[in-house]
Structures are given as structure tokens and as C-alpha cells.
Amino acid sequence: MNDNKYSQKIKELIKEMTLEEKTSLLSGKDFWSTKEIIRLKIDSIYLTDGPHGVRKQSIESKELSLQKSVSSTCFPTACCSACSFDPNIMYEMGEAISREAKANKVAVVLGPGINIKRSPLCGRNFEYFSEDPYLAGKMASGWINGLEDNGIQSSLKHFAVNNQETLRLIIDSVVDERALREIYLYAFEIAVKEARPSTIMCSYNSVNGVFASENKYLLTDILRYEWGFDGIVISDWGAVNDRVEALKAGLDLQMPATNGYDDKKVYDAVKENIIDEKILNKVVERLLYFSLYSMDNIDDDFSYDKEEHHNIARKIAENSIVLLKNDDKILPSKKENTIAVIGEFAQKPRYQGNGSSLINAYKIDTTEEYFKENNLEFNYAKGYDSNSLEIDNALVEEAVNIAKDKDIVIVFAGLINSYESEGFDRKHLNLPENHNHLIEEIAKVNKNIVVVLSIGAPVLMPWIDKVKGVLNLYLAGEAAVSAAFNIIFGLVNPSGKLAESFPLNLEDTPSYKYFPGGNKAVEYRESIFVGYRYYDKAEKNVLFPFGFGLSYTTFEFSNLIVSDANTIAGLDNIHVVFDVENTGNVFGCEVAQIYVSAPENNIFKAQKELKAFIKVFLQPKEKKTIILKLNKRSFSFYNSDTKQYEIENGIYTIYIGNSSRNLLLSKSMEIHSINYYQKKIDNYFNFNDINISDNEFEKLLGRKLKPINIKASKPYNLNNNMSDLLHENLAKDFYNKLLSGLDNLFKDDKTDTKKMFESMMLETPLRSLSTMSGEIITREDIETLINTLNNN
């Protein structure tokens, strides 16, 4: 907002505006747009879902719907694109999405989502980048810059500590200050400082007892004062608890519309001197800048090349897909091989997740089209019904018969929408049994199997020792299938690296004992030990480690040089220099990853943490010298006593590798600082499993714990949800009315979206139920329900 272009205009507008006009700008006009003020020539601005495409609601669709949106390119989801480890290709995605937004007269695309993958069970993990905040922040920055350099505004989300779908609208995330800073806020900090997003979306949940929408510590003290954010803060849809408190805390725009209900609360608060009008004016100033900038970047005659964007989607997928196993060099496959392609996902691919990010794809590549276009022969068997969990023995028998005499069998398998989605969390890490059973049966007659996975998060692979290849597509967008076959046939050399660890079992995950918490709160007792930080510290074997991915060529790292730093100040100019050589015979890309290991004197630490990375593109036998820079932050921990980042005295080791568990070069250096002392909690220093007592977690938090489970009782209020009330007969009738409305709304649903909405309606606080139900239930209905229940 540091743009003087609009300053004078904004001052003049504020002078002219009535109090009613000012407060009118504080919330949406409808579900997707802001209010206009015709008298002052302030237009309504359109916002739409992202983040891997433009999900603009069709004009003819007035009700809440995920089915009726305009056609647009479905780019790879964040779980996939993060594996590119390439901010430049994220820039390319953001740039393409900006063109589609312009063509649809959209001013804001709601994304990217950079919440940390605390647990692989989170149902919305497909929409997030990583378990590592540094990687997430860098990938988000690339996407934001690509979008915003072309005049379209981003909305970095969900701020903050929103790491589960279970009770996401009311849960209180209880996290210690160090983990908050180092893990859950760090990706946001990187993106805000490096990419300057125009808007940030606050999350639904509470953070340490205060709703994110009215959390001044997050929205103002950290976001604006510490990080220098100067854009607008938007609520997630229906996230506002108390509009007056939210305004005081730094929330600018409430979405969606409240039919003037909450605007009136702010109007009255100003009139009654509860809020100084100067505070309101500051918010209105930001909203006017947002509107004027958006108006200037609307193009009434803009178009884009849909085929070009489809090709970009394929390119991003090709750079992100991860080759996890390649025994006997089964890949790349020769085109002359006899080939069986098994699994319905080959013909009806699962290429995106379910929920608010659901794109109406421009076109979807299929196996049949790919083989036809490339004059290739193959035999296909469906293998399973992707709309069912039942094993169909006839389909399995057909697949086995087709597979048994082929040179290579390519099995498409993965998760289905009823297993993972926005709105609910997974209960386990298993693939559907009919997918696992199919692979096991084919393995009895042919060992030359490559499993192609379409998943939004890690899964268990009980058949891993019975197949020769595993290619992880994640959810790779509308061109997923053609990208996969380009890799399978060697037209593209795979270069993706896992942006998260794949555990051997659910019980090994760091938050296993604490996820998803109780009915009121979830405790982050594992603190900073998320993902590889935990698996390394606990010395746990994993199925596949963070940063891992195979190639069709080989690479060699050599000649590590690290510049000396004699002072703490000198750490801002540490250069790490090394060579990477492609020692194979085909072009390839390697991701060089720098990890830093810090001394663990009096402060518990991870064994190592990612601090820099670069994707290196190399011709056969080509060698490049890489120079990466580290800074003070690369060596720091957050001291919750002094409220700042500090560097502990001792020996630090810089590692270079191509995964978190394949470290090829190292160099140690001594940093002279001071020893910091904190209350020592032994279980955070040495553990095989995270098992933190109440007393230990209270010691870490610096305060007493509150119950995470609280049974609802009268008097009920607007922050109760339907789940709290279902023991009341009247509430059951009310909920059944709601379900009946959903049945009608989703009568043509083919994506299991209804299941997501059923979960949301059960967990949504009553204050937001009217908005989130698409007015199936009115505000008056809710008030009548509460009054009746409370008065028997």
C-alpha cells in the first residue's frame, strides 16, 4: 500500500464518506464480491477461490455451490507443485492464473495456502505445500509474485495455526511460542517479507485462546508491526466471531455478506465511542486502496490461450512428479514393450482435491488419448470402481489376465474424495482396500509393476516390496496423465522431491497422540518436532524421507567451501559454494538441499533443518558451481523469554544433500555467542516417541492448561455448534431440516462434496450457520433455536 498514486484520492473519499458508507465497506456484498458505493464511484470487487486455478462461481448459480463454476485450467495442487522445489515454476503458475483471473474480471485469487502439514491425516493437506516452513514460504513467494506482478491480488492463507479440518471453525490451537514462530508462522513471514501479498486471510480457529479473526497479537503486532505487512486482512468465509473486536484487532474485510448485520454493530460502536472513528478510517483507507487498485487492473477485453495454459499445467506436473522406486531400471519404459494399464484412475484420473478449490477443468488428459496420439499399443482393465470401496472380483480377474503376460504393468491407484477432502480429516493412512488388493493380485502373476499414485498426502504401501516402480503424481492437475506417461516413457526425466516425509505407519507420526485433539482444543505438544525434524530426532525409519526423489541420471556433489564468519553480524553473509555434476547420460535436474545442524546445549533443537535449496538443470557430464547464501536466521532459534531470535554458542554443521537423509558434503564452523538458559524439559531433548506430560507442556507454554473437552450445557450460545446440541430433540429436528436442504442442493453431486458440507454443518458455530448453509437456515431460525432450547 506504499503507493502514493492513490493517497490524495483516498483522503478526499474519506472526507466525503458518511459513517454508514464507511462501515458498509467492512463486509461483502454477497458470497464473492465487495460492496460498491455508486455515489463515490467505488466499484464492487470480485474475489474467487484458488489456489491451483480460478474457481469462479457461474453467474447463473446463485446458491452456494462447488459444482457450478466457469471452466479454467486446473494446475497441479500444492502437494504436487511443492515437490518441484522450484519457486520459478511457481511464478509461472501464478502468472498463468493471473491471466485467467483477468479474463474473468476477478481481482483477488484466494491463495496460496501455506499451513504446515503437522499430520498426514489433515484432510486438506493437498492444498498446502509442506511440513517444512522454509520450503513452504519460498514456494508461496514464487506463486504470489507471479500473480501480483500482473495486477491480480493474492490472499495468503490461513493465518494461522490451522492444521486440521476437524472442528476447524471452533478449535483452539494450543501451541508454544517457539513452535508458533519457528514452524507455524515462519512460512507466512517469508512470503510477507519477500512477496508482499496484497491480502492475508485469517483462519477460523482460535490460537492460544483467541479467535484468529480477533487476535491482535497475530493480525497487528506480528503481521503489521514486526513484518511490515501493509495490505488488508480478510476473514475466511464465516470466520468472524465478534465484528467490533475483529476490527480492533486488525481485521479489515469480513466475508461473505452479513446483510448489514455486523456493519451495524461497528456503526453503533463508533456512535457510542466504543471505537474511535480514526481506527475505522485507517481500515477504510486500506479498503479504498484495495478497491481503487483492483478497479485499475480490471480489463474488459482480456483473453488467454487455453491450450498454452494446459501445456503449462503439464510442464509444472512434469517438474513436480516424484519417482519413489525404480528397481532394475524398470523406467523409463521402452515404447515397444507390451503394456498393460490397470486402474480406473488411468481413464478417470483423480487430479485435484475436493472442496472450495475444486476447479471445473478446461480439459482432462486420459490414458486412451495419450496412447492414441503417440501411436502406442496397450491393453486396459478397469480393476476397481473408483466410486466404491468394495473389491469387484470380476474386475480384478480381468486385470490379472491382462497383466500376466505383459512386459510392464502400470497400475493407477490412489485416494478417493471420501477418504480425503476439505471439511474432514482422514482416520488412517490406507489406500482403499480395492486398490491395495488389485496390486497384490497382479503381483502374483507379474513382478514388472509400476504403481502410479494419485494422492493428496502420504499413504501406506503394504505392497512396496512386490512392485518394481512407484511414481507419485500427488494430485497433478488436468494434465496429470500425460505428464505421467511422458516420464514413464522417458520423454521427461523425473526431478520432483518429496516436500513431506512418508511414515512407515500412523503411530510413528509426531502428533499421533494429540491429533485432532478434543472438542474445544488441540494441543501441539510435539512443539517444533514436525515432519523430518521429529523422525530424525527420534531416529525413526520412514518409508520415504523429506526431500527424496529419484532420477534417470546420476549426480555428484563436490568441492564444498563455506565462507568464514568471525562475528554474529558476519553470519548475514555466509556463502556456501559447491559443485554439482550430472554424471549420467541424459539431461536431468537435481535439487541441492542445504541443512544446518545446531548445537543442543540448553535449548532443544532438531537434528538439522532445511535452510536453502536450489534446483540445478544439467546436461549429461555438465558441472555447475552453485553459490547459496545463508544468514543469521539460518542459525537462530526463537527465544520465547527474550521474544527474539538468538544464536547459541557452539559448533554448527552445514550439510549438502539431495534429501534429508542423504547428506553428501559437510563442513563445521564454530560460532561464538553466549549460552542461553531456559527451563530444561528432558523429554524434548531425548525421545523415541513424543510423550509430553501435562506438567511438561505447561512448563513449555508458561501457563496452566485448560480442558480440551468441554461438554456443552445451557445456556447455549452462538459459538456452540450442532454437534453440541444433538442430544436435544429440537436440535435434531433442526439438523434434519438442514440435511434435507443439503440433499436438494447436492442432488447432482458426483464428487462427494456433500459429505464435506455435512461435516461442516455439524461443526460450524451457530453464528456462521446461516452464511455457510447458503441461507438454508436463516439467522432468525438460529436465534429461535437458541432461545427455545435455553428457555425449555
Give alpha helix (H) positions in 634-728. Answer: 694-701, 722-725
Residue 638's SS3 state is: strand
What CA–CA distance (Å, rounded) separates 78 from 368?
A: 27
Question: Which candidate, 329, 256, 247, 243, places its Cα nearest to that of 283?
Answer: 247
Residues whose CB is less than 8 angstroms from the CB of residue 789 and which lie 6 or more positions away in sequence, other chains included? 714, 716, 725, 728, 730, 731
Question: Which candidate, 484, 498, 620, places its Cα nearest to that of 550?
Answer: 498
Under 8 Å between Cβ of 467 and 449: yes
Residue with cell 515454476: 89
Under 8 Å between Cβ of 754 and 421: no
How many Cβ atoms sit within 10 Å of the Cβ of residue 80? 33
DSSP code of residue 713: -
Under 8 Å between Cβ of 198 and 232: yes
Is 236 among the catalytic positions? yes
What CA–CA distance (Å, rounded) separates 276 from 119?
A: 43
Catalytic residue among 176, 236, 365, 536: 236
Give alpha helix (H) positions in 319-359. Answer: none
Residues whose CB is less than 8 angstroms from the CB of residue 453 and which lie 6 or more positions away in sequence, other chains included? 413, 414, 459, 470, 471, 472, 473, 474
Residues whose CB is less than 8 angstroms from the CB of residue 211 and which lie 6 or more positions away in sequence, other chains included? 205, 239, 241, 242, 246
Query: Cell numbers at residue 80, please?
Result: 504436487
Strand intervals (E) in 148-257: 153-159, 172-174, 199-202, 206-207, 210-211, 232-235
Q: Peptide bond preceding 160: is omega within 30 degrees of 0, i.e. cis?
A: yes
Beta bridge partners of 655: 595, 666
Give the end-to-end CA distance of the chain in Å, rounded to a whole number: 53
Length of the chain: 792
CA atoms within 13 A on the CB side of 306: 11
Residues whose CB is less than 8 angstroms from the CB of residue 120 and which lie 6 or more positions away in sequence, other chains included? 426, 429, 457, 458, 500, 503, 506, 509
Residues whose CB is less than 8 angstroms from the CB of residue 266 and which lie 6 or more positions away in sequence, other chains included? 23, 26, 243, 244, 247, 275, 280
What CA–CA distance (Å, rounded) separates 374 from 386?
A: 27
How many Cβ atoms sit within 10 Å of the Cβ of residue 491? 13
Give the per-residue SS3 of 434-491.
HHHHHHHHHHCCCCCEEEEEECCCCCCCCCHHHCCEEEECCCCCCCHHHHHHHHHCCC
User: Which uninterrupted H or E stretch holds 745?
Assistant: helix 729-745
Helix orientation angle between 480-488 and 306-318, rounded to the nearest 10 degrees = 50
Q: In whole angstroms, how far apart are CA 77 and each of 129, 192, 201, 652, 684? A: 9, 21, 19, 36, 34
Under 8 Å between Cβ of 515 and 121: yes
- List active site positions: 236
